[in-house]
Structure 1
């Protein structure tokens, strides 16, 4: 049986054999990265001689292989490894909010959940997901073990990860910008597409993620301040094509461009012709998207063409209905004991558990071409422009 790690005088003492559980690992690319000892650094395992890894996915094996191109290769690498320092067990259909199947096993020294997401943009849904994950993880975590979670961009503030962890009696022991291990790819739950990179002003950018380490006990004095309390300056933009981003606009607080031409176009359109500035007395909003605002009329027009086109009734994915949530009131009857959200009825309280899992989708084909889509909304958007070739 491994010896549990103990924190003394700020130092983390780890067991000789570290028991690690990964949950919601998409195509298992992160778990596969742990086959290389160099990728153990983030888990604070200095001194660990070996690892007992339990790698899990929410999807079934069949769904996993069908959805992700690299899943089969990652599974084979994990299950056939001959590395003497790691033992791997791969399990499927494991819900990160219900880890009771591990209750009778040896508990884990590290539990890792990178980029949790339910498949829709719903802030209340993700706050509940974090609360229920923390609750489930604590049931199978060693007394001196750690829980690791990574979130992208502004998710830590919006999803209230620090307050959700605190409500679960967890202390944030560390938070820092995360550099993913080589080979790891962030996958969307519903497809093999990655959302790790985005386009901004024609350049491909890497989204910044924050790694959090939680544990029971007293916080360390070296903890970084929460994102909301940290001083905020101009956003730092990293270009994969031009890391230096040498072309900046001083009038826009240091807004930077990947090319000289992009900088010239910006100066001409914004500061000379004033074409891209939002007029203070004008509001350009889309009624179909709950009043989402745009900088100018042209941006609103382009949005309507791209998102609604011929079908003006298409709603964003976050428009979907979910159990009615009420502001928390003392002694309220329909309150979840874990996430502390309150609901109008017992039925809504019971139903909120179903919103914690990723949405299962069935691909739907386009009647005009051979393309398939993960939901009817995406199909309808495609049909705005699809023509027979």
Structure 2
């Protein structure tokens, strides 16, 4: 199961959207739901004393439900996000964290095959190296979100998993704290991901990702990445420079070539060793033809299993590189651009589809299907087919270029 951290990531990238009005919730209605849920939990094998302890002081949290109903839309560009995610302070603190836990991280890396720098980078982005782990009651948050009908099934699964964690003895209700959406600990695992991947690295009989000692959390993160296919010895990605006249149809996640074959096409690595590795790789242009270009490997997709946003994955990968001593990105970005709003992304997809370039979904997610549709539209209009969903491209579509 994925950690499902996109909920937390949205808050990092975003500005608020107008709040929805929530219906009044009576104490009686919530307590009736709790009673019914307890029955389902007992049938599922949760012991009565665990339920009594978990729900002893639980009440409905309207603020948690409001935040879930009104999640902010992504309104930061990749480059704006990276300025925070890979700031000089975060890099410096990451190097201190790596040095302070070097022996443990080396052992974790040797066991799971995941570089120490990648583990530390996730730790840095998820909780600022353990300094912001969340202070909301996980049981209270998940119970409130399970009671709300909007995504009740998802959150009830998480609540049931949280109760199984308590029943296993890994922690107690008072210590089970995290984000408003139920993500927990140093590296912000959702309860189902904890059950699937958490590790007792300290061998004290508990998988403790909440306490001040980060070792179980760091090992659990490595275990998660390994289980999701981490390829030992392969990079997440490397920065590259594209040659003049580059065929932008090759900048496609589905077009995968060996680095040496990319070199034959004129693709050059910013670092001399960038194209020396082996493994199939794709070209990614998160800022279009005018932005930084990356050659990404299978491990990019593994990091996406932790969080699906490209900006997050690039943030983890680049932060890991910087912690390991690499230099900042050498290319530039189209800094005059801004990110499209939710409504603008919907409009982009609707316009492309109406013009005969079907995006397959109208969901405001600028993924491979929308990028391919935009690229085809760009070709039909004599534009550089980089698939970059910029305000200028939306304007051109609106004007019927």
State the TM-score, normalized to the length of structure 1: 0.27
State the TM-score, normalized to the length of structure 2: 0.26
Q: Which is bigger in relative contact order (C-alpha 8 A, separation at least 6)?
A: 2
Q: Name the structure with the higher strand share.
A: 1
